[in-house]
Structure 1
């Protein structure tokens, strides 16, 4: 028997060491994230494993599951607690050890496991933990599955079964790297800076890039779970600036930055200029649509409007589908539409058959960037970037907002913009041309300048992005207009970074 979890327990007490702690807000839209010890304890993780095993059987899926853990001081302990719960619920577990999230996703195919449970907090700060889960490769859970998992775990409705088993898979990292690189050859001599923020990707990304023929300059690739320089997050300007400085110092052809669990990739050009991931997506879509004309690309609502407006993509017959932000949403949409690829502004890129298996892999993204440069031997990364139409866009900005409040705030902001639109009011000095509400609200002004507000799916924050095809001034005006609406809500706090 596994006890029913509690929403709160005091640390350093008998109850804390005897009962599961699981805070309900850790069950998010498409994965799970908690502050370890404050919001979940090891018995709570065991309960999560038992709940996941119960759900797998309830879904009628064969109970074979691959798991791994990222490089944090507590991740291995969390993984073994999760495994204990999974086995108690009758799941046969194959453990690939220290791993990237895409390595675990690859394990679903290579080890014939329908299910996955990767222990990672991704790019979240130290202290966070989480699990990325799925039971239908290559997709991961969405809101329906996460909601059912939450209900099973919090109610303690575990169905424990015989038949659980455990096996450790030796040498799996080499299998994964061989699969990525065995058919890839780069003729162009590329000098590449690989920045890993001392996260898990440092053990794998440089090896993969060297295997395809790149000269690799490692930056913060030594594993160190204290993350002494910056958080391994390719959306974080501190990481991008460090990468840009190293590119300029070494005269590299490109800089590639990987997040904590290796499913995202950020890019800096040969002149040391950071290229936001949605613009990299446009560049890759241009390159791939020459090889695969009339392709469909799925992009998230935070991404640039160029996917619909770029003349090269139009000429190549590209169809752009704007969809909900989140790796589970985009992955699912790519599969549903049979899209060639999916791109998120956060740096999650999903390459589908015949250029991938449909899941997000930062190292595969880096390989595609190298292949794009190889297919354009007379052009630098900066020249390829300058070839796309210029827009002025912000980084992803995240004002604090409690998990319990953020969705209600976004609903109020959406309703406010809708009322403004219906009343003919202006935003950023212009009439509102369009509202996109598939995920939060994206308000588009008459000249194409737009601003997005949505709730973060994995942290107690909102997400704000603005872009203008006209000028930096118009981009800043949109930010000012969006922020003014946000500030009508006292629950919204300070930004993590701003214009």
Structure 2
């Protein structure tokens, strides 16, 4: 069978699949990606080397399996069914866990030690869907670890037809893993003896409304915790009728901030659409930066490892506050700075056997969670840190936010290279390279941190749009605003 050709370059990105349904992301495309995933990842990981074909499945070491789940988007079940058919035609058995958060999918992949596929578009609007793919044990699949080849092969299948079915077709079984997931997390952080806390949780009509009652409540038949949960938008609704499930945008935190103050709560938690990220609001309704959460959770993990006499490594991306490596190194840990993006961080987590990793976007990674990201486990650590002592969250957060950050500022630029060159000329060539440190680990980072006044900034181009993303941090607000405004003027040609 030959399908109409579809250009997958805008759909399959650096570390996931993401696009509008039904065009370009149709069930036909999902089936082709499923077949390509089987060929590139599943069958080779089960015992073969290099690209395989369905007939190779019977030669693999054991019967290959894949775990598949989806979020609350209406398009999910149809896309999953098509993807599953691409797998079962290739002789792959599928464990379909149905509704789940992305970290719930990672838990299943790690627990069963099988590759996985999570159908979600995370925080994107309702018309989008996507796939986050992983190898067995929740190991990442990104552009350098199989996703590029999957795109090439899926493109080939769409143009010339899928390969013939395997000699023995795979099967599909349904299984709910929510209770297993909740129990697993409960065993990692003990919240049973903390002081009583009132917690407002904004699920944004996303998967946090499914996982929070199970993990923090009694929906998974687990013992009751000393938590009073005030739910906001727990109803699963992929049209996001109340606000976008993107807590990185301040406007989507307004309802949570208001509810925390009105209810006299100790803390507010906001999850994105697939609930793999968690944002925190203090008792005054003020957001706590993801860098501060990285510092708080990182120090808890370091203390646990040091108590066992182990060396500790912490991963952080280059956008996180300079306070993060300061705190981590001060506590005796090694720190590794990495690019932005979950597939890159997960690879570094595994390579360095890191106990914890954090990103400015509120992705938090744990060795105890298969080196994968989980917003719920991060939230549990924050609840434990808050509940184990009597100070309010605002006082604790202040300890971890000694510097001033701009947050991410996007500029639409037609000629990204020219804008970048204007910044290099002003900050490196005219001022002299000896005054600043320059690196290109991910975009352009220019730093004046080791002498006064202290500041740094990073410019990163979008992979899919004519955008430049600016992040600035400085020792005080005046300097942050000065650098921010100067760089924005250069970028925008003002």
TM range (shorter): 0.7 to 0.9
Q: CA separation of 1:296/1:212 partners in 2, compared to 1, >3 Å: closer, same or farther?
A: farther
**1:460 aligned to 2:461?**
no
Shift of 1:392: 1.4
Residue 457 of structure 2 contacts residue 472 of structure 2 at CA under 8 Å; is this kept in 1?
A: yes
Q: CA separation of 1:25/1:228 partners in 2, compared to 1, >3 Å: closer, same or farther?
A: same
Shift of 1:461: 6.2
Q: 143-152 or 385-394: which moved more?
A: 385-394
How many residues are paired up?
458
Aligned to 2:133: 133
Aligned to 1:451: 457
Q: CA separation of 1:393/1:54 partners in 2, compared to 1, >3 Å: closer, same or farther?
A: same
Aligned to 1:495: none
Aligned to 1:96: 97
Aligned to 1:185: 191
Aligned to 1:13: none
**1:334 aligned to 2:349?**
yes
| Matching of residues 161-240 of structure 1 within 5 Å | 161-182=166-187, 184-187=190-193, 188-210=195-217, 211-240=224-253
Structure 1, unaligned stretches of length 5 or more?
8-21, 490-499
Residue 126 of structure 1 contacts residue 226 of structure 1 at CA under 8 Å; is this kept in 2?
A: yes
In the alignment, the residues of structure 2 paired with residue 57 and residue 190 of structure 1 have an alpha-carbon distance, to the nearest angstrom, of 44
In the alignment, the residues of structure 2 paired with residue 88 and residue 432 of structure 1 have an alpha-carbon distance, to the nearest angstrom, of 60
Shift of 1:255: 0.7
Q: TM-score, normalised by structure 2?
A: 0.86
For residues 79-115 of structure 1, give each alpha carbon's deviation from its aligned partner in whole angstroms, at most 9, with x where no partner exists: 11111112222221110001111111111133342x1
For residues 141-182 of structure 1, give each alpha carbon's deviation from its aligned partner in whole angstroms, at most 9, with x where no partner exists: 121211111111112275443334233333321221122224
Correspondent of 1:288 among 281, 289, 301 = 301
Residue 422 of structure 2 contacts residue 491 of structure 2 at CA under 8 Å; is this kept in 1?
A: no
Shift of 1:284: 1.6
Shift of 1:478: 2.1
Structure 2, unaligned stretches of length 5 or more?
48-63, 218-223
| Matching of residues 24-423 of structure 1 within 5 Å | 24-56=9-41, 59-61=44-46, 63-113=64-114, 115-144=115-144, 145-156=146-157, 158-160=162-164, 161-182=166-187, 184-187=190-193, 188-210=195-217, 211-293=224-306, 295-310=312-327, 313-353=328-368, 356-375=369-388, 377-400=389-412, 409=416, 413-423=419-429
**1:437 aligned to 2:427?**
no
What RMSD in Å do the two structures reach over aligned CA positions?
A: 2.5
Residue 69 of structure 2 contacts residue 117 of structure 2 at CA under 8 Å; is this kept in 1?
A: yes
Q: TM-score, normalised by structure 1?
A: 0.85
Helix, strand or coil at the partner of 1:365: helix
Q: 366-375 or 176-185: which moved more?
A: 176-185
Residue 441 of structure 1 contacts residue 454 of structure 1 at CA under 8 Å; is this kept in 2?
A: yes
Residue 260 of structure 2 contacts residue 267 of structure 2 at CA under 8 Å; is this kept in 1?
A: yes
In the alignment, the residues of structure 1 paired with residue 13 and residue 67 of structure 2 have an alpha-carbon distance, to the nearest angstrom, of 21
Helix, strand or coil at the partner of 2:373: coil
Shift of 1:394: 2.4
Helix, strand or coil at the partner of 1:468: strand
